[in-house]
Amino acid sequence: MKIRFSASAEAWTKWAPVLRAALPEAELARDGDPASFDAMIYAPGGDITDFAPYRNVRLVQSLWAGVERIVTNSTLTQPLARMVDPGLAQGMAEYCAGWAMRAHLGMDRYAQDGIWRNDLSPPLATDRQVTILGMGELGRAVAHMLRGIGFGVTGVSASGRSVKGVAVHPLADLVRVLGQASILICLLPDTPDTRNLLDARRLALLPEGAWIVNPGRGTLIADDALLEALDRGRLAHAVLDVLRTEPLPPAHPFWAHPGITVTPHIAAETRPETAAPVAAENLRRAMSGRPILHLVDRAKGY
């Protein structure tokens, strides 16, 4: 099995040793005759934009969970699999749980200014409702961790497919569900149906004082509508790990707004040590003709 690695030089340094250890029977290379490769490992930052010459490739395995930068490439006709990494899922769950607890406990209310605010004790997690937009692998991991803390968790997904212990609603029910979301966690993919989904009308449906945590896609929330909702005091805070432009320009109003915390796209990282075995299993499946895991639906875009 000969595999073309198409990603940045930095990624090659990190990934090559663990991929070789997970898939010792394969030859891993950064260049060569396109027709000589049986499979490809891909991440944005590599040198391939035209996949047509790679006519013998049986699988393009993405190293990223999101595939919006590649799925619309018309030259990509080979099967494409997204990365579902247990380390990535755990990292996302920890990030979301941490910010949910900060919102729930009101940690930012206790200014160190000499004032004794013992009238600001928080409710229990069982009295707080968290709503997760997007109930894929990451959304389910977040829901599991939050339910373990004691939060009531509601999910929203395009399919409305059931998840044990979580009331899951189809996207068509979003307007009704938003009114119960005191903490809203956004994990939907970037598709034409989700861009600007949280516009001024839908943001206005959230309970007064709600928090938004968005480590999913920066296109989900209409920027101007978010700023307006915060300025009006309708929303308490927004935590944004994903932005329309990354890195976020220093002059962008998000940086200076007291109701926004920007984190630099660090909520969940694909970790080579936990992801390499996933990639290796999928590549073996592709070579042996077995069903490929986490295959991307081109029509849906994820």
Structure confidence at residue 301 (pLDDT): 86
CATH class of the structural domain 2-85+270-288: alpha beta
Catalytic residue among 4, 58, 128, 217: 217
Catalytic residue among 169, 265, 284, 298: 265
Mean pLDDT, each 10-residue run in order, the chain (302 residues): 97 97 97 98 94 98 92 96 94 98 94 90 92 96 97 93 92 94 96 95 97 97 98 96 97 97 94 95 97 93 87
Query: DSSP letters of the chain?
Result: -EEEEES-HHHHHHHHHHHHHH-TTSEEESSS-GGG-SEEEE-TTSS----TT-TT---EEESSS--TTTTT-TT--S-EE----HHHHHHHHHHHHHHHHHHHHTGGG--SSS---TT-----GGG-EEEEE--SHHHHHHHHHHHHHT-EEEEEESS---BTTBEEEEGGGHHHHHTT-SEEEE-----TTTTT-B-HHHHTTSPTTEEEEE-S-TTSB-HHHHHHHHHTTSEEEEEES--SSSSPPTT-HHHH-TTEEE--S-S----HHHHHHHHHHHHHHHHHTPPPTTB--TTTT-
176: annotated active-site residue: no
- Kindly state the tokens that stand for 142: 């977040």
CATH number of this structure's domain 86-262, picked from the four choices 3.40.50.2000, 3.40.50.720, 3.40.50.300, 3.40.309.10: 3.40.50.720
Structure confidence at residue 160 (pLDDT): 85
Structure confidence at residue 94 (pLDDT): 98
pTM, rounded to two decimals: 0.90
Structure confidence at residue 269 (pLDDT): 86
Structure confidence at residue 300 (pLDDT): 86
Q: Are strands 2-6 and 39-42 parallel, antiparallel or unpaired?
A: parallel
| DSSP-assigned beta bridge partners for residue 132 | 155, 185
Residues sharing a CB contact under 8 Å with residue 27, sequence separation 6 or more, in sequence order = 1, 2, 3
104: annotated active-site residue: no
In the chain, CATH 3.40.50.720 covers 2-85+270-288, 86-262
